[in-house]
Amino acid sequence: MSTIVTRIPPSPTGHFHIGTARAALFNYLFARHHGGRIVFRSEDTDRTRSKREYEDEIIEGLHWLGMEWDEFSRQSENAPRHRELLEKLVAEGKAYVSAEPAKDAPERTVEVVRLKNPGKAITFTDLVRGDITFDTTELGDFVIARSLGDPLYHFAVVVDDMDASVTHVIRGEDHISNTPRQILIQEALGAPRPAYAHIPLILDEKRAKLSKRSGATAVTDYRNEGFLPEALVNYLALLGWSPGDDREDFSLAELVATFSLEGVQKSGAAWSREKLLSVNQRWMRKLSDADFLTHLDVGRNSSYMPEERLAKTVPLLKERAQTFGEARDLLSGELACLFTAPTPSLDTLRAKEPADRPSLTKTALEGILAPLESLPDGVSVEAVKDTLMPLADAEETKGKGGRGAVLWPLRYALSGQERSPDPFTLITILGKGESRDRIRTALAILG
């Protein structure tokens, strides 16, 4: 059997779109699964819209996702070859130069190249969708180049795929209608026909084609938000492909081992941010605490967030955050109190104090100090809870105020925030000394 060759042919005319990433991934997986080769081709022939910075962004993004390839090319660099084959088709009478008024400026004459269309039905077998037949008569002698030196996409793509010995073209379903034209060009060139697999479009939550209006569409946006590449790859693979069972967790290597075109569905694949978030959280939770901190990327500011205390927040962050962006927001929001001593307000400290027991808050906080002191250093949340919870429980039996009369001022004294983790977690992370200092500050405010 000849080697399988797939291609990753993005157009560098915009940011690295998740649709481009998903098409690249399927080509990557199929080739690697079969021990084949992958050709990367920057389709940069649209001179006005193509930008080198977009090409860099796409390449960098693909590498970030874990993909690499065996060959790199730029379509613009194949221009001499495109011209050679255009001239050959013209010389053989399979195409002709046609002088006609320019479409956008009819007063000007242009010399486009048109393919002599034999006008027949073209049937190709799509590996996802089965046999597809098109009557190409109505295409007429369609244009394949704006001039001998300026081929259109259809022509360039066919020549480049032929020269790279591409065996499988796996691309978005929006290219199905381009396929008959491309097959006619192949036949004129005497090029072998690759196998085609058109993968379903990515639809947004309203079942329209995913676009900027539906939310972030650039891989870079997800990267900046703090998604892990492993999670994005895992999620993108499941957009239109299924392993045939209900497994949902796949590393890139596991995908390579499992992927097949038979698992690709025909119907549109619905983008779900919620699902992506949960996949990302699963991957975040798999990280060791040290790796988690590296991704968090805030540990470097050591005077502001001591490394050691930051490390203690990892379990909390793993529990609450679905992206590293959310984790960073937690550190500067709900968890900020772990790094900056609070200045609690008198009113909020006493917010849960029953009107007829005006010294309850003070007594409750004073009552915490001795049991707190009895705790050994470095204990678990459970141990802190077992020691301190009975004090709150005792208050419960006394009626008015209840547990909250102890737990609220304690939590608020420790955090200075109306929202924060529970007091036992705070004490575990802050440690005994810092907790004691914060309770003393609150007592001073209570007077």
Query: 362-367 — which CB contacts under 8 Å span 24+ positions?
Result: 362/443, 362/446, 364/391, 364/395, 364/405, 364/406, 364/409, 364/410, 365/409, 365/410, 365/413, 365/439, 365/442, 365/443, 365/446, 366/443, 367/391, 367/406
Q: Which residues of 162-186 are buried (b: 16+ CB within 10 A; e: fewer)?
A: bebebbbbbbbbeebeebbbbbbbb
Q: What's the closest the beta carbon of residue 123 comes to ligand GLU, in angstroms?
A: 19
Nearer to ligand GLU, 13 or 387 (CB): 13
Nearer to ligand GLU, 37 or 171 (CB): 171
Span 28-67, contacts to ligand GLU by CB under 6 A: 43
Compose the 168-197 pattern: x for residues touching ligand GLU by CB under 6 A, - for all others. ---x---x----------------------
Beta bridge partners of 101: 109
Span 108-167, contacts to ligand GLU by CB under 6 A: 157
Q: What's the closest the beta carbon of residue 183 comes to ligand GLU, in angstroms?
A: 13
Nearer to ligand GLU, 11 or 425 (CB): 11
Q: Does 314 bind ligand GLU (CB under 6 A)?
A: no
Nearer to ligand GLU, 12 or 409 (CB): 12
Helix (H, G, I), strand (E, B), or coil: what is residue 306? coil
- Ranked by CB distance to ligand GLU, the top (closest) residue is 171
What letter represents residue 371's amino acid? P
Q: What's the closest the beta carbon of residue 8 comes to ligand GLU, in angstroms?
A: 9
Q: Which stretch binds ligand GLU (CB under 6 A): 8-16, 144-152, 247-255, 324-332?
A: 8-16
Count of residues in contact with ligand GLU, rule CB under 6 A: 7
Compose the 9-28 pattern: x for residues touching ligand GLU by CB under 6 A, - for all others. xxx-----------------
CA dihedral 366, 370, 375, 377 (to 10 degrees): 80
DSSP letter (8 states) at residue 391:
H
Q: Give, for 198, the enclosing helix (H) or strand (E).
A: strand 195-199
Q: What's the closest the beta carbon of residue 250 comes to ligand GLU, in angstroms?
A: 24
Nearer to ligand GLU, 161 or 326 (CB): 161
Q: What's the closest the beta carbon of residue 232 comes to ligand GLU, in angstroms?
A: 19
Q: What's the closest the beta carbon of residue 173 comes to ligand GLU, in angstroms?
A: 11
Strand 269-270 relative to strand 37-42, pairing: unpaired
Q: What's the closest the beta carbon of residue 18 comes to ligand GLU, in angstroms?
A: 13
Q: What's the closest the beta carbon of residue 44 comes to ligand GLU, in angstroms?
A: 9
Q: Where are the alpha helices (DSSP H) in 119-272?
A: 153-163, 179-189, 219-225, 229-237, 252-258
What are the CA-CA distances from residue 184 to residues 113, 149, 196 (Å)? 14, 20, 15
Nearer to ligand GLU, 157 or 446 (CB): 157
CA atoms within 13 A on the CB side of 374: 11
Evaluate the CA torsion angle 64, 65, 71, 72 in order and state its sign. Answer: negative
Nearer to ligand GLU, 175 or 403 (CB): 175
Strand 37-42 relative to strand 71-74, pairing: parallel
With a CB cutoff of 8 Å and minimum separation 6, the contacts of 437 are 341
Q: What's the closest the beta carbon of residue 262 comes to ligand GLU, in angstroms?
A: 21
Residues of this chain that bind ligand GLU (CB under 6 A): 9-11, 43, 157, 171, 175
